[in-house]
Structure 1
Amino acid sequence: MEKIHKPKKVFVQGPISPDFVSKSIASHQSKTNIGAHAIFLGQIRADKKETGVVSGIEYTAYEEMAEQAFHEIREAAFAKFELSCMHIYHSLGIVPTGEISLFVFVSSPHRRAAFEASEYIVEEIKANVPIFGKELVGEGGEFVWKENT
């Protein structure tokens, strides 16, 4: 029988700080059944656009739908890979360039499962979670809907 995990809160306001990431890593030192962690950090790029350079992204979401999609991705990853634990955090609001907007932290007894699960989770988030980004572009600070690539 598969274990069903309770839904976890994913969204945080603004950027995800390096301190938050390091505390998350440190909190796993006592979990001695873990042999590997895979961490994905999505960082905002200063892409060049026709009207200027991206200085940040403002994220919005259909939160209830997005939280349900995150839960479904978590459950699928736990079913597909041998994982000890998993944490997913995504920003809402404005995240300046150079800052982190997505933090996926996967732990497993073995490295292969951690690597594969991390990639699977990030691809599923990009494809299936209703999160929308508007890029803040140029000196006038106009917002332009972000296109996922």
Structure 2
Amino acid sequence: MNRKKPKNVFVSGPISPHFIGESIAKHQSKTTIGAHDLFLGQVRADVIEGKPVTAIEYTAYEEMANQKLHEIREATFERYELNCMHIYHSLGTIKAGELCLFVFVSSPHRQEAFDAIRYLVEEIKAQVPIFGKEIFEDDSYQWKTNT
């Protein structure tokens, strides 16, 4: 495993489209990249037992989550030919329609980027201690279960 220090992937509040655009634009000068792929997670306005979800409040064991994300990141670099990778996840209350997860990879070839992004998102959902409390229109809530 690489000796790099784990990065803090958490941002307070929703992830803005402007931030995503800037992140992509920063890679235009990297001419060994042939493909980018990204995943954007957005809060859905699900209706559960007749009650609309208006937001999700995200919390995490940040140190543990950042360490686990670091391990997933390093394993992904070992498994796929990637130039770079960025992961950002929201903390706090994110309203329905707002972005809460941004995963971005760059690779010399598209198939590696496609495969890596799917692997990353599935590993994040399965392994990282990030918790979502679904908040309903009537201010009641329930803890979200990842599927």
Superposition TM-score tier, normalisation by shorter sequence: over 0.9
Report deviation, 1:51.
4.9
Partner of 1:97: 96
Who is 1:64 aligned against?
63
Report the AA paired with residue 62 of structure 1. Answer: Y
Query: Matched residues in 2 for 1:101 and 1:15: separation?
Result: 6
Instruction: Tell me the distance in 2 between the aligned counterparts of 1:147 and 1:20.
Output: 28
Q: Distance in 2 between matches of 1:65 and 1:51?
A: 35
Mapped partners of 2:46, 2:72: distance in 1: 29
Mapped partners of 1:55, 1:134: distance in 2 = 11
Within a 5 Å distance, the mapping from 1:19-58 to structure 2 comes to: 19-58=18-57
CA contact (8 A) 1:36 1:108 kept: yes
* Matching residue of 2:143: 145
CA-atom RMSD in angstroms: 1.2
1:118 is aligned to: 117
- For the pair 1:14 / 2:13, whether they are aligned, the reply is yes
What TM-score do you get using the length of structure 1 for normalisation? 0.95
1:121-142 per-position Cα deviation (integer Å, ceiling 9, x unaligned): 000000000000000112x211
Q: TM-score, normalised by structure 2?
A: 0.96
1:50-107 deviations in whole A, cap 9, x for unaligned? 1510011000000000000000000000000000000000000000000110000000
Cα distance between partner residues in 2 of 1:147 and 1:110: 34
- The offset of 1:4, in angstroms, is 5.1
Which range is displaced more, 73-82 or 48-57? 48-57
Q: 3-state SS of the aligned residue for 2:70? A: helix
Aligned 8 A contact 2:42 2:99 in 1 = yes
Matched-pair contact (CA < 8 Å) for 1:51–1:137:
no
The number of residue pairs the alignment matches comes to 147
- Percent identity over the alignment is 65
8 A Cα contact 2:12 2:91, kept in partner: yes
Runs of 5+ in structure 2 lacking a partner? Answer: none
